[in-house]
Structure 1
Amino acid sequence: MDLGISGKKALVTGGDSGIGWHTARALLKEGATVVITDLEQSKLDEAVERLGAPPGTVHAFAADVTDLDDVARLHERTTQEVGFIDILVQAAGITGAQGAFDEIDDEGWTNTIETDLLGPVRVAREFLPDLRRGWGRLVFISSEDAVQPYANELPYCAAKAGILALSKGMSRAYAEDGLLVNAVSPAFIHTPMTDAMMRKRAEQLDTSVDGAIRTFLDDERPFLELKRRGQPDEVASVIVFLCSDAASFVVGSNYRVDGGSVATI
C-alpha cells in the first residue's frame, strides 16, 4: 500500500530512542525525510547511525522542548536545512514524579507537566504554520494513563489526559486547513522508560527484571490481555498510518496500542 508519505518532511520529538526512534525509522522506510530531536546531540548522532538511512534523508537537531528559545531555534534550523515540515510526531516525554499523591510536591508536578504537556504545546505552536499549508499531520503520544489513571503516577496521568484534550481541541480548530490531528495511547511498551521502571521494581522486590515484568503485569496491569510488553515498532506502525493518506478521514481520534490494558471500551 502506498501511504502517500514519500517526499514528505517529518519532525519526531523524543527521536533518539524508543517509540520516537522506531517511528522515525518507519517514516524513513516510507520515503519521508525525517528530523529527529531530543536533549543530547551525541545520543541523536548515535540514533542516526542506527537508522542507517541514506545521507540527506535524516537530520538530528538537539533541543529541549521545555525551553521556548530552544524550540524556536529548532524550527529555524529545520526550516533552513530541511524546509517546512508536513508531519509532526510528539513522542518526547518522561515518567515524571511518582509516589503517593500527598507526597509529590509542586516541583514534581511542574517538572512532569513542563515536559509531558507544555513541551508538546510549545512544539505544536511553533511549527503550526508549517502544518497548515493544506496537508499536515500531527500525532500526539498520550498513554493508557490518560483514561485509566494510576494512583502512584498522577502527574503523568494528568499530563497525558491533557494531551488527549489538546489533540481533540486542535483537531477541531485546524481540520479546515488540511491539518489532521490525532493521538496514540500506548501501554507498557519496551522502551528505555519502562526499562528503568522495571529495573527499579526489580531492586525493590529483590528479583530479576523478568520477574519484575511478570509481577507488574499480574499486579498492576491485569487487563493487559497479551501478557507482555509491547514493542515500539507496534506503536510506530499505527503512528505512521495516522501520518499517511490512508488515514485521510481520521481526525480527532485516539488510537490505543495497549494490548487490552484499558479495561473499558
Structure 2
Amino acid sequence: MDMGLEGRTALVTGGDSGIGWHTARELLAEGATVVLTDLDEDALDAAARGLQAPPGRLVHHRADITSVEDLRALGHFVRETVGEIDILVHCAGITGAQGLFHEIDDEGWVRTLEVDLLGAVRVTREFLPDLRRGGWGRIVYLTSEDAVQPYDDELPYCAAKAGVLALAKGLSRSYATEELLVNTVSPAFIRTPMTDAMMSRRAEQRGTDVDEAIGSFLEEERPHLELRRRGRPEEVSAVVAFLCSQRASFVNGANYRVDAGSVATI
C-alpha cells in the first residue's frame, strides 16, 4: 500500500529503540527521510546502523527534550542537513516516579511532567514553524493507556500522558486549516526497554523470573488486555506510520489505542 510518504521528512524522538526505532523503519520503507534523536549518542549510532537506510535517507543527532538549547541545536542540525520536516513523531518519554500518591514528592512529579509533558511541548514548539509552512504536515504523539485509565502506582506518568492527549486535541483544532493533522497513539504493555525494566524490577521484588513477572502482571494489573501477552513494537509503529501517511488525510484529533483491549471502556 502506497502511503504517499515518498520525499517526506520525519523527525522521530526516542528513536534509538522500541516504538521509535520501529517507526523509523516503517517510514524509511515508505520512502521518507528520517531524523532520529534520543539522549544516548552511542545508542543512536547503533540504532542507525541497525536500520541500514539508503545513503542520505537517515541522520541522527543527540538531544535532551527537556533542554531548550538542545532542541534549538537539533532544529539547526535538521534544517542544515535535510531541510524542514513534514512529520513529527514524538516517542521520547520515561516511566517517571512510581508509588502511591502519598509516597511521591514534588521532585518525582516535576521530573516526570518535565519529560513526558513539557518535552512534547518543547519539541513541538521548536518544529511547529516547519510543519506549518508546507501545507501538509503530521504530528503523532505516543501517549499510553494510562492517559485514560490511570493506575494508582504511577499517577505522575498518567497525568502527563493525559496532558499530551489534551495538547494534541488542542493543536488539532488550531492548525487543521493549514493541513497539519495531529493525532495520538496509546499503546499498552509493549515489549520495549521501558517495560523490560519494569518487569525486571517486578521479578526482583517477587523473587521470580521475568516470564513469571509478566504473567502475574497481566493477571493482576492488566485483566482486560485480552490477548494475554505484551505487544510488539512493530504492532504500534504500523499504526503510527498510517497516521503519518497520506492515507490518514481525514484523521485529526484522534487517539488510536493499540492495547489489545486493555482500556476497559468503549
TM range (shorter): over 0.9
CA deviation after TM superposition for structure 1 residue 54, in Å: 1.4
Q: Tell me which amino acid in the other structure corresponds to 2:224.
A: F
CA deviation after TM superposition for structure 1 residue 40, in Å: 1.4
Q: Tell me which amino acid in the other structure corresponds to 1:69.
A: E
Aligned counterpart, 1:87:
87
1:188-228 deviation digits (Å, cap 9, x = unpaired): 00000000000000001111100000000000000000000
Q: Tell me which amino acid in the other structure corresponds to 1:173.
A: S
Aligned counterpart, 1:236:
237
Aligned counterpart, 1:191:
192
CA deviation after TM superposition for structure 1 residue 183, in Å: 0.3
Amino-acid identity (%): 67
1: distance between equivalents of 2:145 and 2:120? 18
1: distance between equivalents of 2:247 and 2:171? 20
Aligned counterpart, 2:220:
219
2: distance between equivalents of 1:98 and 1:220? 15
For structure 1, list consecutive stretches of 5 or more residues without a partner in the other structure.
Answer: none
2: distance between equivalents of 1:207 and 1:7? 49
Aligned counterpart, 2:166:
165
Say whether 1:35 aligns with 2:51. Answer: no
2: distance between equivalents of 1:56 and 1:194? 33
RMSD (Å), alpha carbons: 0.5
Say whether 1:10 aligns with 2:10. Answer: yes
TM-score (norm 1): 0.99
2: distance between equivalents of 1:206 and 1:174? 51
2: distance between equivalents of 1:224 and 1:96? 23
Say whether 1:208 aligns with 2:209. Answer: yes
2: distance between equivalents of 1:110 and 1:71? 20
**Partner SS, residue 185 of structure 1:** strand
Q: Which runs of 4+ in 1 moved over 2 A?
A: none
Aligned counterpart, 1:127:
127
1:77-105 deviation digits (Å, cap 9, x = unpaired): 00000100000000000000000100100
Aligned counterpart, 1:178:
179
Say whether 1:118 aligns with 2:118. Answer: yes
How many residues matched? Answer: 265
TM-score (norm 2): 0.99
